């Protein structure tokens, strides 16, 4: 049934034709059978009747023929007596002719006996009159009636009347043809009328039922109304029962169709799930454990094709390392086969030999009516690796919360689910279990519980609840303490929860209380002070006064709070208030004398202490004003006594300041003089050096040795004089503050090389070695020219006072400073002379004195340059007779040193 319906559903077009054709055939054959049967029966009946009738007619006709035949033969035998006797042939002919009038008489033959035996015959169709005797007359099949013709008992002849049934037969034949045509016509009419009758009462209703059946079978029942057909008799009951059946069938068919659809979908869905599910699924034989079927995912996971899988065992799919062996696997399968579902983690191996972790779920299942083992395999390699990471992360976070320096509790549904260590300490619990699972309510004192209830109700209604709350907490021992709590909603893996950060605010509360008391005390002090105390803001608006102000000025407190400082203070010009304000703002306490004006316009002198008072809303000024009317009067008296004295002092001061001024002018003059002299002095010296140099270099012709020596002395003296002048000018410029550093970035090593180049000739003359220990990567930003000048001065000194050995230049960095030192193996410096090394014109008493040149200003200038221009310093260490080390220190970047210095001096100015 199911199959048929299915095929109908699938091949609707074909089946629409099939049944209808077969029904038509069957219908046709039934009608034909019925019609032919009826026709045959009627034909047989009619034929039978006809044969019977024909027989009767035939018999009657034959009887009549025979009667006529006999009568004719009798008549002829009497009537022919005379003619024969008389040999009257014509009469015989006439009589014969007369006998032939009867149609049934075929012929008449008369044989005469005697001597003149003759035969006279008359035959229909054969025109002969007299037949020779002996001529046989064909009588076969004919009726012959023979009579003796007697005349007076003497036989004279014989007459044979031959009668033929031909006419009767012809008539009967004609009759038969007629009857046959009648029969055929009758049968045709009968067939037609039968068909019409059948069509009307059977076929047409049957067609209706058939169409209805087709519709029902094709699922379109309803468009044909079977009741529209006219039925009669049994057909009517047939129709109603068919209709009932069809209705039943239609309902059943629809149900079946739906069932089939549902089952097909279910099957497809199952197949889709089976193949698209992300887990590998294997179906095992319950007894042997062999693999019967697998899904697509299993093939992907293990790398086998479906066909391959059927030929391998579970051992091949396992890693093989104990306990992941075939034997173990079969044991598990055995357990599951007994009806106990198994969940195991398993180490698997795929076709390529890769090992991976899976979770296997095995259970017995009825598949297609047979009990099988259903195995679901899930790759958990990722989970395995992330499991440990997750666990670690969770532990870390738990550890963080656990060790958090604030009490934390997590609650859900009004019950605490977690508290940390700090919480336990805060509430006096020993272990978390004492608290976990208890209502959150318990951590609050009764006075705060209403608030907590309200908050949780609001939260439940979805209203916004402030995340912070302050209330009274209740410890395990029932004691109370103020609590500040911050509540946040957190998403935990098992759902949202409330996380509360609780802190004990006892200390803060106490501090607040202390502050309030302190404020109260100060308020008393403020109000009770004898002096008039003002508080005003940066715009001069009065924001606070004590009672002293009201009583001394005659204003009410409210009136005063509408006023500004200039309304009260009339002794100071408003412009003078600004510097006072700035000084106070810088942190100084200022005492000024001023004049205050009362409400009634009268004024009085005051001494005011102004100090800065930092309030939460910004800096305010606190002014304590004291009426100094009395003091002023006393002072005035004193002033009068002092006036005379002051006059004297003034005169002196004027004289002194005059002298001071002159001194300053002289100093300036000196600086200007030196500065302008620098050019004037050097120009002629430059000429001397230039010309002698040119001559010495042989540009004006060859010189003899004496000339050369003379000129060399002049040349060197001029150079010495120039350097002396230059040094003096430099020093005076430094002292006048007219030398500024020109910072540039350079590599120290290169500058050192430049310095060595200038001193090289002297080194060579004395045969001294030079060693350089300067890192090549040292860069610095400073006045290169001045630093070079210092280094050359050091080097010049070192070479000057060293007779043997060598000079070492070293450099190092420390703390943003660059140190550059020049060490020699020279005469060294005595301890007592060390402090004078950097003084001007100090030429130490040495045995080398005569031989050494120099201005006596070199080290002094170096120190000046190092400190005032390069913003560094110089130092010296020495051992007499062993050598000296001169060191200059400069900042790595002079610009930063300048900036810092400007800021510092700027601060001082302010």
Partner 1 sequence: MKTGLVIEDDENNMVLITRLLEKSGYRTLQATTGLQGLEAALRQKPDFIILDIQLPDIDGTEVLRRIRSSEIGDTIPIIAMTSFAMSGDRERLLKAGCNEYIEKPIDPQRVISQIRSVIGDIS
Cα angle 75-81-84, degrees, rounded to a multiple of 5: 125
Q: Is 699 in the site for partner 1 (CB under 8 A)?
A: yes
625-684 positions binding partner 1, by CB under 8 A: 679, 682-684
Contact between residue 878 and residue 834 where contact means Cβ atoms under 8 Å apart? yes
Q: Is 702 in the site for partner 1 (CB under 8 A)?
A: no
Contact between residue 882 and residue 814 where contact means Cβ atoms under 8 Å apart? no
User: Nearest approach, Cβ of 874 to partner 1 (angstroms)?
Assistant: 18
Q: Is 686 in the site for partner 1 (CB under 8 A)?
A: yes
Query: Judged by CB, which is closer to partner 1: 341, or 698?
Result: 698
Cα–chain center distance at 486 = 33
Query: Judged by CB, which is closer to partner 1: 286, or 696?
Result: 696
Which stretch, 359-367, 566-574, 607-615, 715-723, contacts partner 1 (CB under 8 A)? 715-723
Q: Which of 722, 724, 770, 844 binds partner 1 (CB under 8 A)?
A: 722
Q: Is 689 in the site for partner 1 (CB under 8 A)?
A: yes
The three-state secondary structure class of 53 is helix
Query: Judged by CB, which is closer to partner 1: 581, or 784?
Result: 784
Which stretch, 151-159, 467-475, 479-487, 714-722, contacts partner 1 (CB under 8 A)? 714-722
Q: Which of 144, 190, 685, 770 binds partner 1 (CB under 8 A)?
A: 685
Give the helix/strand (H/E) hosting 354. none
Q: Is 758 in the site for partner 1 (CB under 8 A)?
A: no
User: Nearest approach, Cβ of 693 to partner 1 (angstroms)?
Assistant: 5
DSSP states of 276-313 as a string?
HSSSEEEEE-TTT--EEEE-HHHHHHH---HHHHHTS-
Q: For residue 86, what are the β-bridge partners?
A: none
Query: Judged by CB, which is closer to partner 1: 223, or 697?
Result: 697
Whether a cis peptide bond, with omega within 30° of 0, leads into 323 is: yes
Q: Which of 209, 362, 741, 874 binds partner 1 (CB under 8 A)?
A: 741
10 Å Cβ neighbour count for 612?
A: 17
Query: Judged by CB, which is closer to partner 1: 180, or 742?
Result: 742
Report how far residue 782's alpha carbon sits from residue 731's, in angstroms, rounded to the nearest whole number.
19
Q: Is 225 in the site for partner 1 (CB under 8 A)?
A: no
Report how far residue 739's alpha carbon sits from residue 734's, in angstroms, rounded to the nearest whole number.
5
Q: Is 719 in the site for partner 1 (CB under 8 A)?
A: yes
Residue 706 is encoded by which pair of tokens?
């004496």
Q: Is 694 in the site for partner 1 (CB under 8 A)?
A: yes
Query: Judged by CB, which is closer to partner 1: 502, or 728?
Result: 728
The three-state secondary structure class of 200 is helix
Query: Judged by CB, which is closer to partner 1: 314, or 888?
Result: 888
Cα–chain center distance at 853 = 86
C-alpha closest to that of 730 among 853, 889, 862: 862
Query: Judged by CB, which is closer to partner 1: 247, or 722?
Result: 722
Give the helix/strand (H/E) hosting 849. none
Query: Judged by CB, which is closer to partner 1: 93, or 743?
Result: 743
Q: Which of 132, 640, 697, 704 binds partner 1 (CB under 8 A)?
A: 697
Burial (0-12, 13-18, 19+ Cβ within 10 Å), 903:
exposed
Number of residues that bind partner 1 (CB under 8 A): 26
Report how far residue 108's alpha carbon sits from residue 122's, in angstroms, rounded to the nearest whole number.
5
C-alpha closest to that of 163 among 178, 134, 142: 142
Q: Is 726 in the site for partner 1 (CB under 8 A)?
A: yes
DSSP states of 368-412 as a string?
TTEEEEEEEEEE-HHHHHHHHHHHHHHHHHHHHHHH-SSEEEEEE
The three-state secondary structure class of 1 is coil
Query: Judged by CB, which is closer to partner 1: 195, or 691?
Result: 691
Give the helix/strand (H/E) hosting 419. strand 415-419
10 Å Cβ neighbour count for 896?
A: 14
User: Nearest approach, Cβ of 777 to partner 1 (angstroms)?
Assistant: 24
Which stretch, 482-490, 499-507, 577-585, 741-749, contacts partner 1 (CB under 8 A)? 741-749
Which stretch, 248-256, 367-375, 778-786, 822-830, contacts partner 1 (CB under 8 A)? 778-786
Q: Is 533 in the site for partner 1 (CB under 8 A)?
A: no
Q: Which of 252, 541, 599, 785 binds partner 1 (CB under 8 A)?
A: 785
Q: Which of 742, 758, 835, 853 binds partner 1 (CB under 8 A)?
A: 742
Binding site for partner 1 (CB under 8 A): 679, 682-687, 689-691, 693-694, 697, 699-700, 718-719, 722, 726, 741-742, 744, 783-786
């Amino acid at each position: 049934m199911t199959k048929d319906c299915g095929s109908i559903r699938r091949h609707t077009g074909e089946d629409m034709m099939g049944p209808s054709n077969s029904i038509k055939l069957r219908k046709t054959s039934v009608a034909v059978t019925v019609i032919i049967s009826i026709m045959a029966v009627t034909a047989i009946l009619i034929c039978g009747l006809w044969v019977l009738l024909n027989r009767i007619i035939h018999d009657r006709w034959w009887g009549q023929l025979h009667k006529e035949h006999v009568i004719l033969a009798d008549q002829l035998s009497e009537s022919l007596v005379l003619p024969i006797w008389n040999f009257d042939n014509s009469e015989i002919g006439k009589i014969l002719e007369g006998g032939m009038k009867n149609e049934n008489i075929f012929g008449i033959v008369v044989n005469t006996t005697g001597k003149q035996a003759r035969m006279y015959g008359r035959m229909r169709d054969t025109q002969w009159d007299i037949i020779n005797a002996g001529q046989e007359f064909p009588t076969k099949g004919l009726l012959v009636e023979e009579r003796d013709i007697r005349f007076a008992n003497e036989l004279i002849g014989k007459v044979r009347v031959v009668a033929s049934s031909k006419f009767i037969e012809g008539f009967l034949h004609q009759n038969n043809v007629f009857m046959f045509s009648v029969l055929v016509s009758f049968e045709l009419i009968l067939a037609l009328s039968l068909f019409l009758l059948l069509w009307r009462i059977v076929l047409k209703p049957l067609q209706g039922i058939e169409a209805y059946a087709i519709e029902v079978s094709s699922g379109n029942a309803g468009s044909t109304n079977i009741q529209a057909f006219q039925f009669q008799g049994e057909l009517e009951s047939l129709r109603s029962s068919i209709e009932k059946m069809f209705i039943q069938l239609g309902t059943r068919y629809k149900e079946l169709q739906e069932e089939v659809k549902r089952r097909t979908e279910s099957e497809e869905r199952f197949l889709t799930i089976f193949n698209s599910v992300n887990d590998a699924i294997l179906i095992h034989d319950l007894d042997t454990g062999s693999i019967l079927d697998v899904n697509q995912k299993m093939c992907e996971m293990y790398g086998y094709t479906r066909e391959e899988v059927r030929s391998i065992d579970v051992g091949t799919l396992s890693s093989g390392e104990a306990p992941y062996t075939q034997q173990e696997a079969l044991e598990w399968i055995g357990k599951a086969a007994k009806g106990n579902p198994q969940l195991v983690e398993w180490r698997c191996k795929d076709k390529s030999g890769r090992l991976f972790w899976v979770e296997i779920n095995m259970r017995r299942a009825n598949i297609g009516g047979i009990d099988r083992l259903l195995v679901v395999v899930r790759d958990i390699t990722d989970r395995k690796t992330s499991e440990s990471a997750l666990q670690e992360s969770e532990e870390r976070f738990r550890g963080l919360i656990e060790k958090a320096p604030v009490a934390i509790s997590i609650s859900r549904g009004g019950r605490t689910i977690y508290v940390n260590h700090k919480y336990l300490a805060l509430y006096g619990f020993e272990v978390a279990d004492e608290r976990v699972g208890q209502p959150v309510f318990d951590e609050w004192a009764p006075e705060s519980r209403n608030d907590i209830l309200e908050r949780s109700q609001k939260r439940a209604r979805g209203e916004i609840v402030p995340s912070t709350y302050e209330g009274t907490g209740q410890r395990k021992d029932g004691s109370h303490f103020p609590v500040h709590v911050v509540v946040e909603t957190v998403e935990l893996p098992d759902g949202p929860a409330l996380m509360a950060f609780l802190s004990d605010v006892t200390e803060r509360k106490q501090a607040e209380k202390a502050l309030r008391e302190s404020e109260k005390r100060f308020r008393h002090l403020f109000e009770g002070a004898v002096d008039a105390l003002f508080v005003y803001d940066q715009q001069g608006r009065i924001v606070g006064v004590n009672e002293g102000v009201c009583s001394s000025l005659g204003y009410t407190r409210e009136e005063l709070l509408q006023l500004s400082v200039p309304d009260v203070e009339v002794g100071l010009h408003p412009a003078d208030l600004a510097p006072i304000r700035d000084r106070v703002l810088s942190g100084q306490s200022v005492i000024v004398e001023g004049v205050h004006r009362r409400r009634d316009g009268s004024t009085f002198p005051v001494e005011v202490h102004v100090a800065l008072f930092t309030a939460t809303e910004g800096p305010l000024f606190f002014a304590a004003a004291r009426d100094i009317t009395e003091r002023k009067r006393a002072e005035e008296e004193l002033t009068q006594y002092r006036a005379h004295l002051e006059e004297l002092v003034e005169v002196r001061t004027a004289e002194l300041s005059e002298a001071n001024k002159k001194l300053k002018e002289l100093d300036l003059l000196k600086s200007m003089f030196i500065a302008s002299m620098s050019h004037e002095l050097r120009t002629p010296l430059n000429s001397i050096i230039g010309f002698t140099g040119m001559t010495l270099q042989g540009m004006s012709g060859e010189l003899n040795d004496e000339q050369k020596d003379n000129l060399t002395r002049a040349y060197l003296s001029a150079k010495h004089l120039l350097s002396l002048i230059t040094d003096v000018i430099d020093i005076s410029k430094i002292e006048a503050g007219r030398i500024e550093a020109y910072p540039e970035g350079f590599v120290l090593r290169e500058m050192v090389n430049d310095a060595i180049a200038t001193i090289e000739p002297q080194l060579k003359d004395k045969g001294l070695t030079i060693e350089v220990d300067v890192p090549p990567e040292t860069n610095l930003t400073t006045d290169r020219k001045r630093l070079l000048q210092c280094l050359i001065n050091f080097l010049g000194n070192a070479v000057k006072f060293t007779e043997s050995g060598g000079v070492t230049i070293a450099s190092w960095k420390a703390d943003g400073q660059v140190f550059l030192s020049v060490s020699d193996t020279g005469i060294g410096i005595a301890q007592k002379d060390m402090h004078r090394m950097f003084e001007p014109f100090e030429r130490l008493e040495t045995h080398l004195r005569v031989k050494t040149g120099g201005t006596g200003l070199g080290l002094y200038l170096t120190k000046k340059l190092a400190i005032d221009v390069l913003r560094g310093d110089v130092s010296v260490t020495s051992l007499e007779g062993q050598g000296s080390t001169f060191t200059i220190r400069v900042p790595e970047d002079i610009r930063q040193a300048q900036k810092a210095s400007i800021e510092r001096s700027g601060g001082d100015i302010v």
